[in-house]
Amino acid sequence: MASRHQDLPVILHNEKRGLLTVEDGRLDVLQLSRDGRPPKQLMTCHLRNFLSAHLAAPSAKFGETRRLDLHCLRAKGNELSLTKLHVLVEPINLTEAEEWVQTVMDAAYDGLKPGKRVLLLVNPVGGKGKAKSIVHNTVVPILQAAGCNVDLRETKHRLHAEEIVRMIDLVYDVIATASGDGVVYEVINGLAARPDGRKALQTPIAPIPTGSANSLCINLFGIKDTFNVPFACLNLIKGRPLPIDLCSVLFAPSMTRRFSFLSTALGLMSELDIGTEHLRWMGDTRFLVGFLKGITTMKHLPCRIKMKVVEDDKVEMAKRARERVRDHVGARHVGGGKDPLADGLRGLSVNGHTAPPAGLANDVTTPLPTTSGPEPLEPGPTEEVDRPAQNDEPLPAAQLLQPDTTWVTIESGSGTAHLKKRSSTQSIQKGAANGETRKAGAWVDGEGVLYFYAGMMPWIARDLMQWPVYTSGDGVIDIVVQSVVPRLMMVNAITGAEKGEAYWLDCQHYYKASAFIVENLAKANNPVASIDGEAFEWDSLHVEVLPRTANLLSMEGHYVVSDFLKKHDTKK
Ligand SMILES: Nc1ncnc2c1ncn2[C@@H]1O[C@H](COP(=O)(O)OP(=O)(O)OP(=O)(O)O)[C@@H](O)[C@H]1O
């Protein structure tokens, strides 16, 4: 961020003489002394956290002198909090003050538009049901302090957010959702269903975390800052466009179509998501509880999976993802909050019950940036981003997919745990010739499927990085097919799951694909598919990736880079 040095003499709130200086990406408020001693620093604010400077209109109260309002998010301990400072500018400095306001706003916004027009959708019942008070006490004051024009609408029922965005005029700079992932999903589906769907989906979506899992916020803000509401507001105000892929999900035979930005879960992972709705009060701990419950029954998923595979070698996938991060992203992390998982898994018992992990159950609203805050960020992609033309067309119609011979097919076997040592010559991979060495972790005929889980961001929950080699906007979806294995092996897979370590397990078959079909071979056993956490009855799913179709906002212009991807060796 370029920063011009500029000082402005002012009269401080305590009537002492002061100086506002903008330098090195910071705004400092200094109190000057009369006796030649060095100035005293009263306040400092990173320009990334600076919201607005406004020279008030002349008023009878101050006569010739004018009031200058400064609003920023200041780090106090582990929290970012809204700070409003008012100083006075003497007539002799008014011209300089107008220039100074322009300078500080230019430096603070670095090419971004200040004072955005925001559609703010609030789900009063998501997560722990605190969205309304969080919005009232924290979100709206911050957005107003940044000069945003907020159109706030509370959702009254399921799919209401979808109805709202289907009808809006496309006049908003951002659609914000005070909710979990469910309302984001509805916004995407509402925009995508419009006759001008392509254009509508260009409006970026910015989540404010008031749901239970808030997977999107984990991936945008990091584990420590998932529930950091002021930081999410800053992202809304200062975020840069992050184009993301969507999936078109077509259910047959109903031919119902939905759009997914997050995940397709079948088998255990679907039950875990849908079957724990009543535990919403637990926050994201409900997923861990659901997982432990699921592996007590180990119900398998009879299915046929067909995938248009782009890559399936785990070592290669990890290597490429790490290279991409190293070359294009820079290993930078947004956070600053405390790690909610540090002690989280220690309290677990594994026989279907769990003591609530300390860091998760009791406190899901805490992590906030540290005093100094993160380092200034390199600008992410802005106008240069390779985005589809902003035309008024609808998205392409959905069709039943027609696999050709290059697609990989997997058919689940029995539901008995499979532990056979794999033959090194057996191969069913795409294009494999006789005698080709099979890749570690390749599918073995006869294995049962415990779950099928496809995702479009690394983390699905704070304690599960299910797709650690996912990088956004590549036109592929990452697929995990988990074999039925002994229960203890699944329990062990929990350890390190938040770091993506389960990726290396042979029983987790991992593919990057641009399209896939799953056929349900025992509907009575597995009636429900979960698409971004929403339940659907299914006979078969036809799923296709639509590259870079929607937009989010992100402080870095990309999802948070995990430690998994910061490793630069090509091995585990
Ligand atoms: N007023 C309302 N009454 C009942 N349901 C609502 C209302 N407003 C929205 N909903 C529904 O609430 C569901 C859950 O929403 P949301 O995603 O915000 O929270 P969550 O499920 O707790 O969080 P997450 O998706 O992150 O786990 C959505 O399906 C949404 O349609």
CATH number at residue 431: 2.60.200.40
Handedness of CA 211, 216, 221, 222 (dihedral sign): positive
Q: What is the pLDDT of residue 416?
A: 65
pLDDT for residue 492: 78
> How many domains does one find in the chain?
3
Instruction: Answer whether residue 270 is part of any domain.
Output: yes
pLDDT at 52 > cutoff 60? yes
CATH code of the domain containing 128: 3.40.50.10330
Instruction: Give this complex's ipTM.
Output: 0.97
Q: Name beta bridge partners: 437.
A: none
Q: How many CB atoms lie within 10 A of CB 560?
A: 24
Q: Is the pLDDT of residue 386 over 50?
A: no
Q: Long-range contacts made by residues 380-383, C-beta under 8 angstroms, separation at least 24?
A: 380/240, 380/241, 380/242, 380/554, 380/555, 380/556, 380/557, 380/558, 381/240, 381/241, 381/242, 381/243, 381/557, 382/111, 382/240, 382/241, 382/557
Q: Do the Cβ atoms of 32 and 19 come closer than 8 Å?
A: yes
Query: Is 337 a domain residue?
Result: no
Considering the domain architecture, whether residues 47 and 142 belong to the same structural domain is answered as no
Residue 547 CA to residue 544 CA, distance in Å, equals 9
pLDDT at position 49: 96
Q: Of 87-96, 210-219, 384-393, 429-438, which gets the smallest average pLDDT?
A: 429-438
Comparison of pLDDT for 271 and 449, the residue scoring more: 449
Which atom of ligand 1 is nearest the CA belonging to 179?
A: 18
As a whole number of angstroms, the distance between CA 453 and CA 557 comes to 26
Higher pLDDT, 30 or 269: 30
Which among 158-172, 349-363, 400-414 has the top mean pLDDT?
Answer: 158-172
> Are 98 and 120 in the same domain?
no
Nearest CA owner, ligand 1 atom 19:
126
Strand 508-520 to strand 540-554: parallel, antiparallel, or no bridges (unpaired)?
antiparallel
The atom number, within ligand 1, closest to the CA of 534 reads 29
CA of 278 to the centre of ligand 1 (A): 12
**Is the confidence at residue 65, as pLDDT, over 60?**
yes
In sequence order, which ranges of 325-394 are alpha helices (DSSP H)?
358-361
Residue nearest to atom 3 of ligand 1 (CA): 157
- How far, in Å, from the CA of 465 to the mean position of ligand 1? 23
Can you tell me the distance from the alpha carbon of 385 to that of 257, in angstroms, rounded to the nearest whole number? 28
Ligand 1: does its nearest atom lie under 6 Å from the Cβ of 226?
no
Which one of 182, 204, 238 terminates a domain? 238
β-bridge pairing 117-122 and 17-23: unpaired
Question: Going by CA atoms, what residue is nearest to atom 2 of ligand 1?
Answer: 157
Which atom, in ligand 1's list, is nearest to the CA of 131? 18
Does ligand 1 have an atom closer than 6 angstroms to the CB of 217?
no
Report d(CA 76, CA 79) in Å as an integer: 5
Is 570 within the bounds of a domain?
no
Residue 67 has what pLDDT? Answer: 96
Query: 205 and 63 in one domain?
Result: no
pLDDT for 276 equals 63
User: Do 131 and 217 have their domain in common?
Assistant: yes
* 471 within a domain of the structure (yes/no): yes
Collapsing DSSP to helix, strand or coil, 232 comes out as: helix
**421: CB partners within 8 A, 6+ apart:** none
Instruction: Indicate whether 196 and 271 sit together in one domain.
Output: no
Judgement on whether residues 170 and 317 belong to the same structural domain of the protein: no
248: confidence class by pLDDT, cuts 50, 70, 90? very high
User: Would the pLDDT of 456 be above 90?
Assistant: yes
Q: Is the CB of 61 under 6 A from ligand 1?
A: no
Residues 314 and 274 in one domain: yes
Strand partners, 7: 21
Domain end marker among 109, 128, 150: 109
DSSP E strand boundaries for 144-281: 149-154, 174-179, 205-209, 240-252, 256-260, 263-267
> Which residue owns the Cα nearest ligand 1 atom 17?
182
Q: Are residues 118 and 90 in the same domain?
A: no
Q: Is the CB of 285 under 6 A from ligand 1?
A: no
Place of tokens 């998205």: 395
129 in the same domain as 84? no
Give the H/E segment covering residue 130: none
- Do 86 and 229 share a structural domain? no
Residue 6 burial by Cβ neighbours in a 10 Å radius (0-12, 13-18, 19+): middle
The Cα 399–Cα 265 span in angstroms is: 21
Residues 89/55, Cβ–Cβ less than 8 Å: yes
Mutate to test the pocket of ligand 1, among 135, 163, 179, 187 (most ligand atoms within 8 A of CB): 179
83 plus 160 within the same structural domain: no
Which residue from 540, 522, 508, 510 is spatially nearest to 413, judged by alpha carbons? 522
Do you find a cis peptide bond into 253, omega within 30 degrees of 0?
Answer: yes
Q: How many CA atoms lie within 13 A of 407 on its CB side?
A: 16
Per-residue pLDDT tens digits for 187-204: 999 999 999 999 999 999
Write out pLDDT tens, residues 277-302. 666 566 566 667 777 777 677 778 99
Which residues form the domain of 99?
6-109
Q: What is the CA radius of gyration of the chain?
A: 26
Give the per-residue pLDDT at 404: 96
Model pLDDT, residue 284 = 62
Residues 256, 132 within the same domain: no
- Give Cα 36 distance to the centre of its chain: 51
Query: Residue 10: enclosing H or E segment and its boundaries?
Result: strand 6-11
Is the beta carbon of 273 within 6 A of some atom in ligand 1?
no
Segment 354-374 shows an average pLDDT of: 28
